[in-house]
């Protein structure tokens, strides 16, 4: 980043909001809509001020109909607009799933490129907020499994703005999951300690104006030699804290984009460290971590000194009262790190 670029301290919501503003000013074909997104500015304030600045036909409220929101966005993209739509919680994306899987993901393919779907589907996701069953889910594996969709999950304000701008500019449809636990500050898994706001974190220095963080590129957030941690979203911060607390020289990779995956960075790291821990909030069975573990096994088998371990949520619906038993926190991390290092 050039020293001349002006930055403003922003939390993740403010960074996401600014990405919208920058792109809507730049591209008149961008329309933003979803439930409570217009006048009110979104239940998490991600679209605050956009309707006032860009008018009601550029940013507007939608009926409570995820199938309708995604379905009309498909028609708008077919017309030539670039919809950036919001699904209020990832837990409520399922009524729109048919449109996403059967339509959005496949239209470029089934029309041999005659029609494309340059749209972004934003949705707050993840747990750690006492959200219970329907305000905590991490359904990324339901999208990474679908050919034709890109899946992006930022972990800090700088990436959130740069990745969202890149997603809006990308010619392909992008599902953009925002870990709502870290909207206001990074969360290291220690729920019994006060939360540090983003303002105390270097990555809250978000450049004004346009910049991108490329899709499909992972970020090594901590270099190390002892093992490689593959993670994304809130779990980046949980992993970093666990590494320091346990005094292990781990390399922590924030994947940022799950599809397409930055396989080169992953392979290079594991060939160096020989050990791998996969960390996700989502339930374990058939989660994205299973894909990561399989890829590492297929491509780095002879470099591995220990089985690939997974830290994940349990294979249950996300419970309310048992939040901190469910959430993959410091103890699960410590034990998994120990296991990978002991083998």
Partner 1 sequence: MNDATKRPNRPALALHVPEPPFRPGDTPDFSSIKVPPAGEAPRPDVAAEAEETFPLVTHLVRVLDDSGNAVGAWDPKLDPDTLRKMLRDMKTVRTFDDRMYRAQRQGKTSFYMKCTGEEAIAVAAATAMDPEDMHFPTYRQQGLLVARGYPLKTMMCQIYSNAEDPVKGRQLPIMYSDKKHGFFSISGNLGTQYPQAVGWAMASAIKGDSRICMGWIGDGATAEGDFHNAMTFATVYQAPVILAVVNNQWAISSFSGIAGAEQATFASRAVGYGMAGLRVDGNDALAVYAAVKWASERARTNNGPTLIEFFTYRAEGHSTSDDPTGYRAKGEAEQWPLGDPIARLKAHLVALGEWDDERDAALDAELDATVRAAQKEAEAVGTLPDQGFENIPSMFDDVFADTPWHLKEQCEQSLAEAREFLGHEPK
Residues binding partner 1 (CB under 8 A): 31, 57-58, 62-63, 65, 67-68, 71-81, 95, 98-99, 102-103, 106-116, 147-148, 150, 170-172, 216, 259-261, 263
Q: At closest approach, how far in Å is the CB of 193 from partner 1?
A: 40
Active-site residue, 201 included: no
Give the angle subtended at the CA of 95 by the CAs of 93 and 100, to the nearest 5°. 70
Structure tokens at 51: 């309707």
For residue 309, the cross-strand partners are: 277
Report the C-alpha gap between 278 and 293 in whole angstroms. Answer: 7
Q: Which residues does 100 contact at the CB level (< 8 Å), separation at least 6?
A: 70, 93, 121, 143, 146, 149, 173, 175
Our CB check for partner 1 shows the closer of 172 and 245 to be 172
Give the angle subtended at the CA of 307 by the CAs of 303 and 311, to the nearest 5°. 125
CA 101 to the chain's CA centroid: 18
Q: At closest approach, how far in Å is the CB of 286 from partner 1?
A: 18
Residue showing tokens 């799950």: 258
Report the C-alpha gap between 333 and 240 in whole angstroms. Answer: 10
CA 278 to the chain's CA centroid: 16
Our CB check for partner 1 shows the closer of 150 and 161 to be 150
Our CB check for partner 1 shows the closer of 102 and 316 to be 102
Q: At closest approach, how far in Å is the CB of 72 from partner 1?
A: 3
Q: At closest approach, how far in Å is the CB of 116 from partner 1?
A: 7
Our CB check for partner 1 shows the closer of 159 and 170 to be 170
**Which residue among the candidates 135, 190, 191, 237 is catalytic per the annotation?**
135
Catalogue the active-site residues. 135
């Amino acid at each position: 980043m050039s020293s001349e670029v002006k930055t403003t301290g922003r939390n993740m919501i403010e960074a996401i909001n600014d990405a919208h503003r920058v792109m809507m000013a730049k591209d008149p074909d961008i329309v933003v809509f979803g439930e409570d997104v217009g006048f009110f500015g979104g239940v998490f304030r991600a679209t605050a001020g956009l309707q006032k600045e860009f008018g009601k036909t550029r940013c507007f409220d939608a009926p409570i109909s995820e199938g309708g929101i995604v379905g009309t966005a498909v028609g708008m993209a077919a017309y030539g607009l670039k919809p950036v739509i919001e699904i209020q919680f990832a837990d409520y994306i399922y009524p729109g799933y048919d449109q996403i899987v059967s339509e959005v993901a496949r239209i470029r393919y089934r029309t041999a490129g005659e029609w494309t779907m340059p749209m972004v589907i934003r949705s707050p996701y993840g747990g750690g907020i006492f959200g219970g069953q329907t305000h905590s889910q991490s359904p990324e594996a339901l999208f990474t499994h679908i050919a034709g969709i890109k899946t992006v999950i930022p972990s800090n304000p700088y990436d959130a703005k740069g990745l969202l701008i890149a997603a809006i500019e990308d010619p392909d449809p992008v599902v953009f999951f925002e870990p709502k636990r870290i909207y206001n500050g990074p969360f290291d898994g220690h729920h019994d300690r006060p939360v540090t706001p983003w303002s105390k974190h270097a990555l809250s220095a978000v450049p004004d104006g346009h910049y991108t963080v490329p899709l499909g590129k992972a970020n090594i957030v901590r270099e190390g030699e002892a093992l490689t941690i593959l993670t994304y979203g809130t779990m980046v911060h949980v992993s970093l804290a666990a590494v320091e607390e346990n005094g292990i020289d781990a390399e922590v990779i924030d994947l940022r984009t799950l599809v397409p995956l930055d396989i080169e960075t992953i392979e290079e790291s594991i060939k160096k460290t020989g050990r791998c821990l996969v960390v996700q909030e989502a339930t374990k069975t058939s989660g994205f971590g299973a894909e990561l573990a399989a890829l590492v096994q297929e491509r780095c088998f002879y470099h591995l000194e220990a089985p690939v371990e997974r830290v994940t949520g349990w294979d249950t619906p996300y419970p309310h009262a048992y939040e901190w038993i469910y959430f993959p926190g410091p103890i699960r991390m410590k034990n998994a790190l120990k296991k990978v290092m002991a083998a």
